[in-house]
Amino acid sequence: MNIPELLQQLTLEEKAGLCSGGDFWHTKAVERLGIPAMMMSDGPHGLRKQDEQGDHMGVNDSIKAVCFPAGCATASSFDRELVERMGKALGNECQAENVGVLLGPAVNIKRSPLCGRNFEYYSEDPYVAGEMATYFIRGVQSQDVGTSIKHFYANNQEHRRMSSSSEMSERTAREIYLAAFERPIRKAKPWTVMCSYNPVNGVYASENKHLLNDILRNELGFDGVIVSDWGAVKHRAKSLKAGIDLAMPYSADYEKQLTDWYEKGLIGEDDLDRSVGKLRELAEKYRSAVSRRRVTMTEEQKHELAVRAAEESAVLLKNDDDILPVCRDKRIAVIGGFAENPEFQGGGSSRVNAKAAQTLCDCLKQLGFNADFALGYMIRYNILTPFGIRYAVETAAKNDCAVVCVGNTWLTEKEETDRFSLKLNPAAEDLILDVAQVNPNVIVVIYAGSAVDVSAFEGKVKAILYMGYCGEGANEAAADLISGRVSPCGKLAETFPKCLEDTATAERRGNGYTERYPEGGLVGYKYYEYNGIAPAYPFGYGLSYTTFRYGDMQVKKLGKTDYYISFSVQNVGRHAAAEIVQVYISDDASMVTRPKKELVAFGKKHLEVGETCTFGFKLTERDFAYFSPVLNKFYVENGTFTISVGASSADIRAELVVRVHGDAPKAVRVHRNTYF
Ligand code: GLC
């Protein structure tokens, strides 16, 4: 039966029911007309399927599943192929569990390093966030399982996330907060998009026709189902008219509002039929997927992938005297509760019921090391509390080096709350300082979901290895990196500022009803560079066990605004490793406020010692453009641009100046539109 015929057959109540969900996790079935119910489940880094009591905060049980590195970590891998493989593995799990749509990826921009859900999100940069999401979606959907890119849009804080309106200019929205969704929606075509809880410029996302219809449907060409975040719909009929096809979770009120408004003539047949048609298409995708069910990955293979992903995502922030990798003949003191039971994911709806990570001591011993363990602190009620400090210090004193494992628990980085500080728990800082007093060779391993302020101990330790929330393979990966079995290659997808006061949102805490974005598009590294604020560790930064030489940068003009750039990278050190390269553009004489540099491309290659490779990137008009509210489009000014190739945003290895022949309508030339 085609959709027009189906719409003829469905009663008003059935149509209202289809648009209002079936229960907490399922869409509604219409058995008599062959429409199946379909299950949706979280989340972005692992399957949180609840067969029993459903909830959207990760409180009730869910089935055992593999926990992969969270978005904060995988983005630091800058590895499209890896993220796609993770997506395939997750899609595989969903297939096996008869889940039709996986509620991820989460691509909200990390505007403030304090946001409680930053661990789920990819980056401060929309290009990185968009690329990671694109390949994640491709991976999951290659298994005939849908995705739900979320939360559309500007859900950049957890503080009053249900009511605080994100207030920004159109230019800021287009260049940053919408841009993170634009690329994956156009390139990967997610089956669904999940709207956010918050208002945007005063109108709830779930009732924002400009957002859902004008931009998402008409401009970005999204033709799937728009689903609400769980409980994000304030008024079902208004949200239907704005473009919400499916309100979750099920509520009888939703159905009643639709039938009441229909009978009053406040919503028309076309409003309902448009959404029912989309839901029927989704149900058909699910139905045909069921017929193609296959389970191809074993638990061991998925776990192994989780370990590899954690290794590729870890960022080496400091490595004085090349203390890492540690030689096998060195005796290691392994200190801290996280060495035994690491936090490897945040709290809330994304939290996976994963198996416990192996202990770091066991992993190091399996690699042939002598390792002594001391607790140093206990984790009670999710708070690190000092425990056995004296024994920990004694253990450190009698070993050649000390690996101190610290970080944030899921109660610190979780949904519905933001952090108030960038610092680690005082017990963790004190433990590091106590150990550093008796052993000069301290290696700090950090498990956290966002930027941390390491100033309390950075100068007292030799090395800092940032693991992120890197999934169940956390300590296997940490041991492989500490031992040199694998070289770290990850680079920060989020700037680590020196202190909270340096951030654009330090004074934030709107009145709970509006949160203005006065920094405009100057988010993350763009803000620090524009304002001349040196961070602790810049965007795109990460050390390796080897060194790379960049050279031979060339540029070829392909057209008025298109260029092809290439350059070589050689591994000139003594350890095989992957290198992540970044390409930035700068508008040398813009008529409007623009960031000093904007990331437009990145690549990654594994290089053996001595090996050389060539990277090549095509840059097109959009890479040079900014969004002009005057012209209401992305627009390229005439003039010269600098193309920079970097190992990080603060480590530019080569650059060239090119002339770009954009448009220059008179109207714009006198218009100096800043971001606000
Ligand atoms: C939550 C989250 C969303 C999640 C949904 C279902 O509140 O905001 O990311 O997918 O509800 O758990």
What tens digit of pLDDT does each residue of 173-223 get? 999 999 999 999 999 999 999 999 999 999 999 999 999 999 999 999 999
Q: Give nearest CA residue, ligand 1 atom 2.
A: 349
Q: Give nearest CA residue, ligand 1 atom 12.
A: 56
Which token pair is 533? 């604020």
The Cα 32–Cα 28 span in angstroms is 12
Question: Which residues share a beta bridge with 618?
Answer: 564
- DSSP code for 445: E
The residue written with tokens 């004008």 in the block is 214
Cβ proximity of 49 and 97 under 8 Å:
yes
The Cα 278–Cα 402 span in angstroms is 57
Which token pair is 67? 């926990």
Which mutation among 246, 349, 351, 416 tests ligand 1's pocket best, with the greatest number of atoms within 8 A of CB?
349
| Burial class of residue 376 (count of CB atoms within 10 Å of its CB; 0-12, 13-18, 19+) | buried
The whole-number pLDDT of residue 614 equals: 98
42 lines ligand 1 (CB under 6 A): yes
Higher pLDDT, 571 or 58: 571
Atom of ligand 1 nearest to the CA of 103: 10
Q: Give nearest CA residue, ligand 1 atom 9.
A: 349
Could you give the percent of the chain with pLDDT greater than 90?
90
pLDDT at 509 over 70: no
What tens digit of pLDDT does each residue of 317-373 get? 999 999 999 999 999 999 999 999 999 999 999 999 999 999 999 999 999 999 999
DSSP 171-193: HHIIIIITHHHHHHHHHH--SEE
231: Cβ–Cβ under 8 A, 6 or more apart, which residues? Answer: 56, 162, 197, 249
Which mutation among 57, 156, 229, 350 tests ligand 1's pocket best, with the greatest number of atoms within 8 A of CB?
229
The whole-number pLDDT of residue 380 equals: 79
pLDDT at 124 over 60: yes
Mean pLDDT, residues 484-505: 97
pLDDT at 139 over 60: yes
Q: Give nearest CA residue, ligand 1 atom 1.
A: 56
459: Cβ–Cβ under 8 A, 6 or more apart, which residues? Answer: none
244 lines ligand 1 (CB under 6 A): no
Task: Indicate which residues carry an active-site annotation.
Answer: 229
Which token pair is 611? 């090996």
Mean pLDDT, residues 69-95: 97
Task: Look up the pTM and report it.
Answer: 0.97
The whole-number pLDDT of residue 665 equals: 52
CA of 346 to the centre of ligand 1 (A): 13
CA of 403 to the centre of ligand 1 (A): 36
Residue from 650, 664, 659 nearest 557 by CA: 659
Q: Give nearest CA residue, ligand 1 atom 8.
A: 229
The whole-number pLDDT of residue 379 equals: 84
pLDDT at 48 over 70: yes
The Cα 527–Cα 324 span in angstroms is 32
Mean pLDDT, residues 29-54: 93
Atom of ligand 1 nearest to the CA of 161: 8
Q: Give nearest CA residue, ligand 1 atom 6.
A: 56
Which token pair is 439? 């052993």
Atom of ligand 1 nearest to the CA of 230: 11
Cβ proximity of 639 and 619 under 8 Å:
no
Cβ proximity of 543 and 317 under 8 Å:
yes
What tens digit of pLDDT does each residue of 266-292 get? 999 999 999 999 999 999 999 998 877
Q: Give the model's confidence band at 674: pLDDT under 50 very low, under 70 low, under 90 confident, else very high.
A: low
DSSP 321-374: GG-PSPPTTSEEEEESHHHHS---S-BSTT--BPPPPPPHHHHHHHTT-EEEEE
Atom of ligand 1 nearest to the CA of 43: 10
The Cα 314–Cα 311 span in angstroms is 6
CA of 354 to the centre of ligand 1 (A): 19
CA of 289 to the centre of ligand 1 (A): 24
Which mutation among 26, 27, 53, 56 tests ligand 1's pocket best, with the greatest number of atoms within 8 A of CB?
56
CA of 231 to the centre of ligand 1 (A): 9
Cβ proximity of 438 and 399 under 8 Å:
no
Q: Give the model's confidence band at 664: pLDDT under 50 very low, under 70 low, under 90 confident, else very high.
A: low
The whole-number pLDDT of residue 53 equals: 73
Output the CA torsion sign for 72, 78, 83, 84. positive
- DSSP code for 525: H
Residue from 72, 73, 49, 75 nearest 62 by CA: 49
Beta strands 315-319; 633-635: pairing state: unpaired
| Least confident range of 201-205, 299-303, 416-420, 669-673 | 669-673
Which mutation among 26, 40, 42, 227 tests ligand 1's pocket best, with the greatest number of atoms within 8 A of CB?
42
Question: Which residues share a beta bridge with 611?
Answer: none
Using DSSP, state whether 624 is helix, strand or coil.
helix
Output the CA torsion sign for 405, 302, 132, 652. positive
The angle, 0 to 180 degrees and rounded to 10, between the axes of the packed helices 474-483 and 299-313 is 50
CA of 430 to the centre of ligand 1 (A): 36
The whole-number pLDDT of residue 670 equals: 47
Q: What is the mean pLDDT of the chain?
A: 95
CA of 160 to the centre of ligand 1 (A): 15
pLDDT at 146 over 50: yes
If phi > 0 it is left, if psi is from -120 to 50 it is alpha, else beta; for residue 590 that is: beta
Largest distance between two CA atoms of the chain: 81
Which token pair is 591? 């008529």
Cβ proximity of 142 and 152 under 8 Å:
no
| Burial class of residue 603 (count of CB atoms within 10 Å of its CB; 0-12, 13-18, 19+) | middle
- DSSP code for 596: S
149: Cβ–Cβ under 8 A, 6 or more apart, which residues? Answer: 104, 105, 107, 133, 137, 181, 184, 185, 190, 192, 193, 194
| Burial class of residue 368 (count of CB atoms within 10 Å of its CB; 0-12, 13-18, 19+) | exposed
The Cα 411–Cα 381 span in angstroms is 9
103 lines ligand 1 (CB under 6 A): yes
For 33-51, b/e burial (b = at least 16 CB within 10 A) is eebbbbbbbbbbbbbbbbe
CA atoms within 13 A on the CB side of 215: 20
Cβ proximity of 332 and 400 under 8 Å:
yes
Q: Give the model's confidence band at 56: pLDDT under 50 very low, under 70 low, under 90 confident, else very high.
A: confident
CA of 348 to the centre of ligand 1 (A): 8
56 lines ligand 1 (CB under 6 A): yes
Question: Which residues share a beta bridge with 177?
Answer: none
pLDDT at 589 over 90: no
| Least confident range of 48-62, 110-124, 511-525 | 48-62
pLDDT at 406 over 90: yes
Question: Which residues share a beta bridge with 304?
Answer: none
Could you give the percent of the chain with pLDDT greater than 70?
97
- Distances from the Cα of 122 to the Cαs of 69, 111, 504, 665, in angstroms? 11, 11, 19, 37
